[in-house]
């Protein structure tokens, strides 16, 4: 299929180049190759989409959409990590990867438009899961793991226009429901569903750097810690610490970041269940402040 569809071939070659770069990051030829094939694939892919999805192109376009989304994550690995371990360096340098939402939701759009022709494709089924969501109907309940991310929501919304406040509330609630579901899922890849299912309003809130949206986003990145994939290597630490650095010292949101920081900084390939499941809910937040003090992120 890739030999017949150059944009798919270029997407594969781009990911191959990024993979090689992850082992040999200073090889300039691999740097050039990764971006050459990435650009070539994206240009041809967009041109094919503009021409319309057909039975002949549906499968290749869907596979290319997935690879382009993965490229967006993989390229993040090579942003030079020159900020050090001090979160004070992050506020003026760190930018949340908003583009991930657009790339992954683009996958959803292309797959939906192609579904009539690809629903029986073994290739598509191998890379695009169809998760069965079992979302918490009451994410603000005290026994809901991430309920602390929704505390004082009414107070935040009280300053917004009533119609916008309703949409904002729905955006927060759905985002927390999805990360709560992913936290309980055995399949770690379920976490990526967050990128495809959150609302456009939630993306706007992240872009606006609304604190609640950022701590929810940090929790999502922490969930990625479980995924054993080269293109996610160290992503949890980098992104969580980047988001942590946006918050000023003494911010009330620090305690809501405790679980994400604990997971992101975990040193080991396997996170014990007692660590993975600890730190949620209001009762554990006091311990979280102690943890942040211990790792030197806030003053004693």
pLDDT per position as a tens digit, 141-163? 877 899 999 999 999 999 999 88
Name the token pair of 200: 């456009």
Is residue 283 pLDDT above 70, yes or no? no
Kind and range of the H or E run holding 179: helix 162-184
What's the full length of the chain, in residues? 300
Is residue 299 pLDDT above 80, yes or no? no
Q: In which band, very low, low, confident or very high, does the pLDDT at 86 lie, cut at 50, 70 and 90?
A: low
Is residue 89 pLDDT above 70, yes or no? no
For residue 259, which of 96, 150, 156, 145 has the smallest C-alpha distance? 145
- List pLDDT tens digits, range 90-108: 555 789 999 999 999 999 9
Is the distance from CB of 5 to CB of 54 less than 8 angstroms?
A: no
Is residue 82 pLDDT above 90, yes or no? no
Helix 28-51 / helix 6-23 crossing angle, nearest 10 deg: 150
Q: In which band, very low, low, confident or very high, does the pLDDT at 293 lie, cut at 50, 70 and 90?
A: very low
Is the distance from CB of 279 to CB of 262 less than 8 angstroms?
A: yes
CA–CA gap between residue 186 and residue 270 (Å, rounded): 13
User: Which has more confidence, 133 or 189?
Assistant: 189
CA–CA gap between residue 223 and residue 277 (Å, rounded): 11
CA–CA gap between residue 192 and residue 182 (Å, rounded): 9
User: Which has more confidence, 130 or 219?
Assistant: 219
Give the chain's mean pLDDT: 87
Distance, CA of 207 to chain centre = 14
Is the distance from CB of 215 to CB of 256 less than 8 angstroms?
A: yes
CA–CA gap between residue 195 and residue 203 (Å, rounded): 10
Please give the average per-residue pLDDT across 20-38, as a whole number: 92
Supply φ then ψ for residue 28, to 5 degrees. -65, -30
- pLDDT above 90 covers a percentage of the chain that reads 64
Torsion of Cα atoms, 224 then 226 then 231 then 233, to 10°: 100
Please give the average per-residue pLDDT across 42-59, as a whole number: 96
Distance, CA of 20 to chain centre = 23
pLDDT for the residue 270: 84
pLDDT for the residue 265: 93
7: alpha, beta or left? (left if phi > 0; alpha if psi -120 to 50): alpha
pLDDT for the residue 205: 97
Q: In which band, very low, low, confident or very high, does the pLDDT at 291 lie, cut at 50, 70 and 90?
A: very low
């Amino acid at each position: 299929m890739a030999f017949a569809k150059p944009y798919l071939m270029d997407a594969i070659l781009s990911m191959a180049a990024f993979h090689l770069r992850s082992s040999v990051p200073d090889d300039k030829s691999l740097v050039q190759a990764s971006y050459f094939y990435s650009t070539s694939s994206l240009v041809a892919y967009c041109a094919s989409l503009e021409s319309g999805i057909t039975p002949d192109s549906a499968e290749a376009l869907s596979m290319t959409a997935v690879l382009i989304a993965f490229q967006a994550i993989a390229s993040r690995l090579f942003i030079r990590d020159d900020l050090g371990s001090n979160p004070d360096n992050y506020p003026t340098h760190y930018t949340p990867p908003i583009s991930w939402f657009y790339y992954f939701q683009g996958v959803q759009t292309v797959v939906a438009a192609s579904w009539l022709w690809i629903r029986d494709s073994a290739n598509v089924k191998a890379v695009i899961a169809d998760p069965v969501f079992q979302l918490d109907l009451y994410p603000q309940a005290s026994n809901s793991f991430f309920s602390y991310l929704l505390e004082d929501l009414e107070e935040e919304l009280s300053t917004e226009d009533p119609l916008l406040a309703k949409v904002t509330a729905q955006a927060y609630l759905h985002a927390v429901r999805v990360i709560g579901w992913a936290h309980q899922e055995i399949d770690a890849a379920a976490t990526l569903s967050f990128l495809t299912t959150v609302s456009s309003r939630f993306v706007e809130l992240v872009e606006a750097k609304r604190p609640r949206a950022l701590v929810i986003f940090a929790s999502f990145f922490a969930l990625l810690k479980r995924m054993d994939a080269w293109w996610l290597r160290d992503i949890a630490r980098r992104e969580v610490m980047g988001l942590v650095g946006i918050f000023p010292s003494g911010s009330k949101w620090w305690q809501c970041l405790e679980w994400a920081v604990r997971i992101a900084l975990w040193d080991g390939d396997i996170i014990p269940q007692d660590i993975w499941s600890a730190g949620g809910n209001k009762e554990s937040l006091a311990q979280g402040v102690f943890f942040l003090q211990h790792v030197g992120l806030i003053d004693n």
